Amino acid sequence: MQKILKKRMLALSCLSVFMLAACNDDDNSSDSVGSSTYVSESAYAKDSLSEAASITVMTYKMQSVRNVAVNATAMVLFPKTAQPADGYRVVVWEHGTLGVGDSCAPTNNLLGPRFKDPLAKSLLAAGYVIVAPDYEGLGTPGIHPYLHLESEARSAISAVKAAQEHYGSKLNKQWMSIGQSQGGQASLGTAEFANSDANFKGAVAGAPASSLGQIIFSVAPAALAAAEQKELDAGASLAYRAENGSIGAYATLLTYAAFAAVGIKASDPSFNYREIFSDTRSQLIAEMAEGSTGENGLCLDSTDPVNAPQDSLRYRFAQDIVKFLSDNPSKKLLDYPGLNQQKFEASAQIKSFLAASQPGTKKIDKPIMIIQGTADMSVPYPVTLALYNAMKAQGTNVQLLTVPGATHTQAIVDKNADAVNFIQTYMPARP
């Protein structure tokens, strides 16, 4: 009993400082979650993919941000290509920002467009098995700790372990990760925490979230102000700006901030995220990310944008910004009472979150590809360039694939062939 207590105290100690490295080498391997990880499997009936022989939803166990065993879910897609004699190689797809409510989980929705076509089709056609985790708290009880690097890594590592456990010789032990936005950050986190696993062969990260404080209060405001001025000079309407321009971009940024703030409650239930928003109007919208239970919050986007656009947190922020600017014609976009910078920067919980969310702080011994668009307003190019330079300086074998003129969600789609070739180079589907 004393031994168990000591282990728990050690785990809590690690959590309290949000260390990006594990407390010991075992935590960095796919064997860190325990002897048995797989729980069950059920059919996935929300969508289909012609290149997939089967799509199932696997339930497995993982270690949560509060260091207790919890259930998590992941999609498992098998290709139609013949199984190699030594088993299929596995590619983990780590999805981008969707929300923190259970309805936002990929396993509860249609296959995401950036995942389905062309990436999933390409990987399945090449002969890879795809494991796509929902992440901790998405689709399962508990708040999703949005952008918590170690939680995302545990979600991926434990999903792979569970799949290997369940499918046995059908799967080869070799695996890689790929993701975009939140998933790009998660893929880098997976590479960090799987660094000591000899079977982990590398990672691809599209527009990986990083340096969030700098984005929110420095890089993004400058970009938004410049974009707004161009729109004003061109006589763009508020509706157009909300749909295609600076208002929509600012609404997206505030939505990410709301998800992150709510997500902190996964590890610190006492955190009052409302305090970091400047006014009642933005506080009330931020609360919609959590919902009434922490399980029923609004997602980034509505599943029915034509008939129910209000079921989107990004839409709610955009419409409120439009109303604010309509009611206050002399005001500018950044006058909208969104985040309170002083309280944001003074919060100890926020500081811990920013440390826990930052990828690329340690040398990774596996090859890394980063894909980044130069027109990205969610994760601006200079931020990713700085991340790349920092990783390179640490000695990580990292390459940056720049996509001129590409936006946040488009870059990894435009360079899908390069991403798949990278995976095939370091982990051929067949020996």
In a shared domain, residues 160 and 32: yes
What is the rounded (10 degree) CA torsion for 253, 97, 209, 270?
80
In this model, does residue 18 exceed pLDDT 70?
no
Residue 35 has a pLDDT of 75
Query: Strand ranges (DSSP E) for 114-170?
Result: 129-133
> Could you report the per-residue pLDDT of 274-296, keeping only the tens digit for each?
999 999 999 999 999 999 999 99
In a shared domain, residues 51 and 134: yes
CA distances in angstroms from 398 to 76, 151, 176, 392, 402, listed in the order given = 28, 23, 15, 6, 13
Q: What share of the chain is helix, strand, coil (3-state, %, to 5)?
A: 45, 15, 35
In this model, does residue 33 exceed pLDDT 60?
no
Residue 7 has a pLDDT of 41
Band (14; pLDDT cuts 50, 70, 90): very low
Distance between CA 254 and CA 185 in Å, rounded?
19
Bridge partners of residue 401, in order along the sequence: 371
Per-residue pLDDT averaged across 161-190, rounded?
98
Q: Are 351 and 383 in contact (CB under 8 A)?
A: no
In a shared domain, residues 256 and 199: no
Residue 304 has a pLDDT of 95
Q: Are 193 and 22 in contact (CB under 8 A)?
A: yes
In a shared domain, residues 45 and 168: yes
The strand pair at 69-79 and 129-133 is best described as: antiparallel
Domain boundary at 330, 354, 378, which? 354
**Overall size of the chain counted in residues:** 431
Helix axes 280-290, 246-263, angle to 10 degrees: 60
> Could you report the per-residue pLDDT of 285-344, keeping only the tens digit for each?
999 999 999 999 999 999 999 999 999 999 999 999 999 999 999 999 999 999 999 999
> Could you report the per-residue pLDDT of 404-430, keeping only the tens digit for each?
999 999 999 999 999 999 999 999 999
The residue segments making up the domain with residue 224 are: 212-354
In a shared domain, residues 96 and 171: yes
Residue 124 has a pLDDT of 98
Judged by average pLDDT, the poorest of 19-33, 83-97, 234-248, 406-420 is 19-33
> Could you report the per-residue pLDDT of 360-369, keeping only the tens digit for each?
999 999 999 9
Residue 272 has a pLDDT of 97
In a shared domain, residues 373 and 337: no
- Greatest Cα pair distance in the chain: 70
In a shared domain, residues 41 and 171: yes
Distance between CA 394 and CA 364 in Å, rounded?
8
Domain boundary at 354, 375, 392, which? 354
- The CA-CA-CA angle for residues 80, 194, 398, to 5°, reads 90
Element spanning 149, H or E = helix 149-167
In this model, does residue 34 exceed pLDDT 60?
no
> Could you report the per-residue pLDDT of 55-114, keeping only the tens digit for each?
999 999 999 999 999 999 999 999 999 999 999 999 999 999 999 999 999 999 999 988
Per-residue pLDDT averaged across 198-220, rounded?
96
- The CA-CA-CA angle for residues 44, 49, 52, to 5°, reads 85
In this model, does residue 120 exceed pLDDT 80?
yes
What strands lie across the sheet with 368-373, from one edge to the other? 38-43, 52-63, 69-79, 129-133, 88-94, 171-180, 200-206, 368-373, 398-403
Distance between CA 128 and CA 256 in Å, rounded?
32
- Evaluate if pTM is beyond 0.85: yes
In a shared domain, residues 66 and 171: yes
In a shared domain, residues 171 and 251: no
In this model, does residue 191 exceed pLDDT 60?
yes
> Where does residue 211 fall: left (phi above 0), alpha (psi -120 to 50 degrees), or beta otherwise?
left
Residue 100: give its domain's CATH number.
3.40.50.1820
Distance between CA 238 and CA 121 in Å, rounded?
38
SS (H, E, C) 155-224: HHHHHHHHHHHHHHHHEEEEEEEEEECHHHHHHHHHHHHCCCCCCEEEEEEECCCCCHHHHHHHHHHHHH
In a shared domain, residues 207 and 244: no
- Please report whether residue 431 resides in a domain: no
Q: How many domains does the chain have?
A: 2
In a shared domain, residues 169 and 269: no
Residues 6+ apart with CB under 8 A from 425: none
Residue 431 has a pLDDT of 87
- Please report whether residue 415 resides in a domain: yes
Bridge partners of residue 130, in order along the sequence: 77, 91
In a shared domain, residues 164 and 311: no
Per cent of the chain over pLDDT 90 is: 91
In this model, does residue 13 exceed pLDDT 80?
no
In this model, does residue 29 exceed pLDDT 60?
no
The mean of the pLDDT values for the chain is 92
